[in-house]
Amino acid sequence: MNDQALIAKINEGLKDKVVAITSPAPRRIFFKVTTDNLLTAVSWLRQELGITHLSTISGVDLGQSFELLYHFANNYCAITLRAEIPRDQPVLPSICEVIPGAILYERELQDMFGIVVQNIPDGRPLVLPDDWPAGNYPLRKDWKYERPPEVIPGGKS
Amino acid sequence: MLQKLTQWSRLKSPWILHLNTGACNACDIEVVAALTPRFDVERFGILLEGTPRHADVIICTGPATRQMKDRLIRVYEQAPDPKFVMAVGACAMSGCVYRGAYNILGGIDQLIPVDVYVPGCPIRPDALIEGVVKLLDKIKQGTR
């Protein structure tokens, strides 16, 4: 199977659900879907192409919106699924019912970007400290961190 | 008399607790290397303990993370008096490359008093042994 055949297969299988599809490098395919079709696209990838390995989910703060990139991989190539959600309404469907291992990445997304993942089986905080103040999302570009002043034990010499 | 005996035993056989407060594991490997036969600090009576309740010296590796704050203070309070703390590695001294990150509070000395700093990234086992020797000198002279 080559890239062109794979792109044709994705276009054929998901039809108008694919917003844009590109292949910037050999064995690398990016395609974009809307968030409503995200779960459908992931389950299609799993059932029809047999892709079960989700490498990671990465998030990008684009200013007005957040872009989520679901990096899937199989023996032949890496397929990245892109989805964009507005910043003022950051709601995302969970893909845990298709890929159960995605829960760690989704919990991290909730922690670091403040994205609300719907239907997540267990939405507790994952990576941030226990006493982290609510409403602080470190990977948002507009988040500012005030470093607490350090003390020098015994004073400066 | 008894005081002299405890002081002697403290100097001849300090028991250490190895505590990782968020290090990248490089310092931990070197601390363990100091305990294993190549350097073998056990011949000086230095014994690795599994609990702070038995330890005289707490060897801290890694920067003080926000998550470890309460736990580090609790471990320090669990150790019986007199207790000594060694900050091992550049991270434990100042935070090093993690300094200024949102989940890092700085060096170990931001949370608990530190007696000896051992620089290095990671430390060499020789440096750790020299640090312990300097700590024992401090205890002997009564400056700590």
Tell me if the domain spanning A3-89 has CATH number 3.40.30.10: no
Q: Are A50 and A74 in contact (CB under 8 A)?
A: yes
Q: How far is CA A46 from the centre of its chain?
A: 17
> For residue range A54-109, what is the model confidence (pLDDT) as tens digits?
999 999 999 899 999 999 998 888 999 999 999 999 999 999 999 998 999 999 99
- B102, B111, B117, B143: which to substitute to probe chain A, counting the most A Cβ within 10 Å? B102
> For residue range A105-125, what is the model confidence (pLDDT) as tens digits?
999 999 999 999 988 888 888
Domain residue spans of chain A: 3-89
Give pLDDT, residue B144.
Answer: 59
Domain residue spans of chain B: 2-139
Residues of A with CB below 8 A from B69's CB? 131
SS3 A42: helix
Nearest CB neighbour to B105, from listed A138, A145, A148: A148
Judged by phi (left if over 0) then psi (alpha if -120 to 50, else beta), residue A84 lies in beta
List residues of chain A with CB under 8 Å from any CB of chain B: 128-132, 138, 145, 147-148, 150-151, 153
Question: Does a cis peptide bond (omega within 30 degrees of 0) precede residue B119?
Answer: no
> For residue range A26-46, what is the model confidence (pLDDT) as tens digits?
889 998 999 888 898 899 889
Nearest CB neighbour to B114, from listed A129, A147, A153: A153
Q: What's the CATH number of domain B2-139, 3.40.50.1450, 3.40.50.720, 3.40.50.300, 3.40.50.12280?
A: 3.40.50.12280
Q: Is the pLDDT of residue A140 over 80?
A: yes
Give pLDDT, residue B117.
Answer: 92
Give pLDDT, residue B59.
Answer: 92
Give pLDDT, residue A157.
Answer: 61
Subunit contact B114:A128, Cβ cutoff 8 A = no
Low-confidence ranges of chain B (pLDDT < 50): none
State the pairing for strand pair A65-73/A53-61.
antiparallel
Interface A-B, measured as beta-carbon pairs within 8 A, has a size of 19
Nearest CB neighbour to B67, from listed A130, A151, A153: A130
For CA atoms B122, B126, B129, B134, give the dihedral sign.
negative
In angstroms, what separates the C-alpha of B39 from chain A's closest C-alpha? 32
> For residue range B69-92, what is the model confidence (pLDDT) as tens digits?
999 999 999 998 888 999 999 999
Interface of B with A in 77-136 (CB under 8 A): 100, 102-103, 105-106, 109-110, 113-114
Give pLDDT, residue A104.
Answer: 92
State the complex-level ipTM.
Answer: 0.72
